[in-house]
Amino acid sequence: MQKIMIIEDDPAIREELALLLKNEGYTPLMVTEFTDVPGQAAQERPDLILLDIGLPGKDGFSLCAALRKVSLAPMIFVTSRDAGVDEVRALSLGGDDYITKPYSVPVLLARIKAVLRRSFGEPEPSDILDDGKLRLSLTKGTVSAGGGTAELTRNELQILACLMAHAGQIVSRADLIDTLWDNQIYIDDNTLSVNMTRLRGKLAKIGLPDAIKTRRGMGYQL
Amino acid sequence: MTLREFLSDRLFRIITPLLCFTIAILFLRATGTQSGVLAILAAVFLLVFCAVQLSDFFSQRTRLRELESILDSLDRKYLFTECVPPPQNLYERRLFNLTRRAGRAMTGAVSDAQASQREYREYVEQWVHEIKAPITAARLICRDLDGEPRRKLISELAQVEAHVERALFYARAESPERDFLLRQVKLEKIAAQAIENHRSLLIQNGIRVETEGLNCTVYTDEKWAVFILGQLLQNAARYRGEAPVITISAHPLGKQVRLTVSDNGIGIPAHELPRIFERGFTGSNGRSRGGSTGMGLYLCQKLSGFLELGLDIASEQGKRTTVTLIFPAKQNLTKL
């Protein structure tokens, strides 16, 4: 498990962040003593550092320089100052990414994942989703099953990918819309219904007419 | 100053000597001075008198013109009295000193006001940064909740954030120091960020957003542009109609880039269009839908001015509103 060091002075944020990262499968390291942060980093050897550059009585930028001397771990700056000047300065000091408070949780997680992937050369998330019955190719935009292959539009692809990622669980319409918006597809409820009908039509043609079940009042289930 | 104004101003001072002189001539004549002598006397007197008046006129006119040109060339006009050469004559010098003292009091008051404005802005900025910590914590805590309550809370938090952002940008826009940074940015990035910031508002109102041709690069301050676009999205969401759709599209316009944000909302009545950028103007839509602050578009226009963005709104009541933002070409940016 990858260790993520959280340097954040607000205890509420620190603890919630630790909990969140733990749930996501990382090992969070909370820094509660800010006197010798570089020393702690040298000792704990984290894989990623989340650094709040607005620590009390300290200049986050000089702390960053000190951390850089003892650790080569990638660093994501978190700050509530959102002037463009700060961003440029942070990145020029060796930060790998910069995110401003208040961040949305999915955005933060995506950034962490991306930085870790860049730094440790982890494989890109798999292009093929396969649950035994369905085989979805994300780059080709096709779905295949026993009965053949169908081409999907961008929207249908994302809907199906989301359902397959939560195979067996009920995914609500609101969650589906959220996922699509995460992928820069800004649709509304009606469009989702239309896309869902088309997706079901295409699945029916390749021999899976009832692959997506509607759970009335709750959502969809694959 | 014209000769006529000069003369009418000094009427009394001109008539009095002339009157005295006429009386003197009449007296000399009565006491038997020859009329030839009187004629010479009168001619010399009039000549000298006119010459003195004219020279006064010209010297005053020159001085006034000089002062006017000094005032015109000044950036901060209230420093005028510090920049002009003091006058020669006693009375004027005294007057000048009085004005200068008044001017200094004004300069003091102005710099006090500027200092307090700066302090206020600094306080607002700091406050905004501080309030962001609890908002961030609240967002993280929301993760632990399920479904509907989480969505509702996140949307309330997004509204809090929108208000906070407006306060921050208000402080920035009203302050003489402007800390923006013009850089090369992809419009896609600006649009995605603005949509992300107002996503719960948009989703909650059942809005579909279509984007088109956003693969262009513009030179602007990313944060400010995201804020401006965000205000437009909020307006489109607030004044939506049936089956709301917002279209964000960009087209190159020579070396400039034109970004349009159009919606199929309730539109703005034609007679209110000229006033929509006024501070605090809410219009009939704002009154009927509520929750309008009259600050969004005012700020947009103000910030656009700093970023040299062209901002224009067209609308057809009951049908649509189209906002056009024209991003300047790189070489036209003076502050880069």
- Structural domains in chain A, CATH included, are 3-120 (3.40.50.2300), 128-221 (1.10.10.10)
Nearest to B136 among A13, A19, A186 (CB): A13
Residue B263 pairs with which residues in a beta bridge?
A: B246, B321
User: What number of other Cβ atoms are within 10 A of residue B212's Cβ?
Assistant: 11
Phi then psi dihedrals of residue B243, to 5 deg: 45, 65
Give the pLDDT band (50/70/90) at residue A100: confident
pLDDT tens digits, residue range B122-149? 888 889 888 988 998 998 888 878 778 8
Q: What is the CATH number of domain B183-332?
A: 3.30.565.10
Does B147 touch chain A if contact means CB atoms closer than 8 Å?
yes
Cis peptide leading into residue A46 (ω within 30°): no
Average pLDDT over residues A36-51: 87
Does B173 touch chain A if contact means CB atoms closer than 8 Å?
no
* Alpha carbon separation from B160 to B60, B231, B282, B325 (Å, rounded): 62, 14, 20, 26
Return the pLDDT at A123.
Answer: 62
- Radius of gyration of chain B from Cα atoms? 34
pLDDT tens digits, residue range A166-199? 888 889 888 899 889 988 899 998 899 999 999 9
Please identify which residue in the block is written with the tokens 């006090």.
B112
Work out the percent of chain A whose per-residue pLDDT is above 90: 15
Give the pLDDT band (50/70/90) at residue A124: low
pLDDT for B206 beyond 70: yes
Is the distance from CB of A101 to CB of A80 less than 8 angstroms?
yes
pLDDT for A60 beyond 60: yes
pLDDT tens digits, residue range A62-96? 888 888 888 888 889 888 776 667 777 777 777 88
More confident residue, B65 or B144: B65
Return the pLDDT at A87.
Answer: 75
Give the pLDDT band (50/70/90) at residue A122: low
Q: How far apart are CA A37 and CA A30, in angstroms?
A: 11
Nearest to A13 among B140, B144, B192 (CB): B140
Q: How far apart are CA B321 and CA A160, in angstroms?
A: 35
Nearest to B137 among A12, A100, A188 (CB): A12
**What is the chain A residue with the closest CA to B193?**
A184
Average pLDDT over residues B326-332: 80
pLDDT tens digits, residue range B281-297? 988 888 787 778 889 99
More confident residue, A208 or B271: B271
> What is the residue extent of each domain of chain B?
3-106, 115-174, 183-332
Structure tokens at B264: 């199929």
* Alpha carbon separation from B110 to B74, B80, B115, B118, B120 (Å, rounded): 16, 14, 9, 12, 15
Contact A10 B137 (CB under 8 A): yes
Is the distance from CB of A205 to CB of A143 less than 8 angstroms?
no
Contact B130 A80 (CB under 8 A): yes
Q: Is the pTM of this model over 0.90?
A: no
Give, in degrees to the nearest 5, the angle at Cα B120 between B101 and B179.
Answer: 100
Work out the percent of chain B whose per-residue pLDDT is above 90: 46
pLDDT tens digits, residue range B234-247? 999 999 988 899 99
Does B212 touch chain A if contact means CB atoms closer than 8 Å?
no
Residue A149 pairs with which residues in a beta bridge?
A: A144
Return the pLDDT at A183.
Answer: 85
Nearest to B259, CA basis, from B272, B270, B246, B271 = B246
Q: How far apart are CA B214 and CA B251, in angstroms?
A: 8
pLDDT for B121 beyond 90: no
Average pLDDT over residues B166-181: 78
pLDDT for B7 beyond 80: yes
pLDDT for A38 beyond 50: yes
Distance from CA of A206 to the nearest CA of B (A): 30
For residue A103, the chain B residues in CB contact (below 8 A) are 136, 139
pLDDT tens digits, residue range B87-120? 888 998 999 999 889 988 988 998 999 899 888 8
Contact B137 A172 (CB under 8 A): no
Distance from CA of A100 to the nearest CA of B (A): 9
Please report the DSSP string for A204-217 in residue order: HHTT-TTSSEEETT
Contact B196 A107 (CB under 8 A): yes
Average pLDDT over residues A20-40: 87
Q: How far apart are CA B73 and CA B130, in angstroms?
A: 43
**In this structure, are strands A97-100 and A128-130 parallel, antiparallel, or unpaired?**
unpaired
Q: Average pLDDT over chain B, rounded to whole?
A: 88
Lowest mean pLDDT of A35-39, B157-161, B162-166, name the range: A35-39
For residue A54, the chain B residues in CB contact (below 8 A) are 129
Is the distance from CB of B179 to CB of B172 less than 8 angstroms?
yes
Nearest to A184 among B183, B192, B243 (CB): B192
Does B217 touch chain A if contact means CB atoms closer than 8 Å?
no
Return the pLDDT at B321.
Answer: 94
Q: Which of the residues B126, B132, B136, B139 would you substitute to probe the A interface, choosing the one with the greatest number of A C-beta atoms within 10 Å? A: B136
Q: How far apart are CA B250 and CA B230, in angstroms?
A: 16
Return the pLDDT at B336.
Answer: 44
Average pLDDT over residues A106-125: 81
Per-residue 3-state assignment (H helix, E strand, C coil) for chain B? CCHHHHHHHCHHHHHHHHHHHHHHHHHHHHCCCCHHHHHHHHHHHHHHHHHHHHHHHHHHHHHHHHHHHHHHHCCCHHHHHHHCCCCCCHHHHHHHHHHHHHHHHHHHHHHHHHHHHHHHHHHHHHHHHHHHHHHHHHHHHHCCCCHHHHHHHHHHHHHHHHHHHHHHHHHHHHCCCCCCCCEEEEHHHHHHHHHHHCHHHHHHCCCEEEEECCCCEEEECHHHHHHHHHHHHHHHHHCCCCCCEEEEEEEEECCEEEEEEEECCCCCCHHHHHHCCCCCCCHHHHHHHCCCCCCHHHHHHHHHHHHCCEEEEEEECCCEEEEEEEECCHHHCCCC
Lowest mean pLDDT of A49-63, B77-91, B129-143, name the range: A49-63
Element (H, E) at A171: strand A170-171
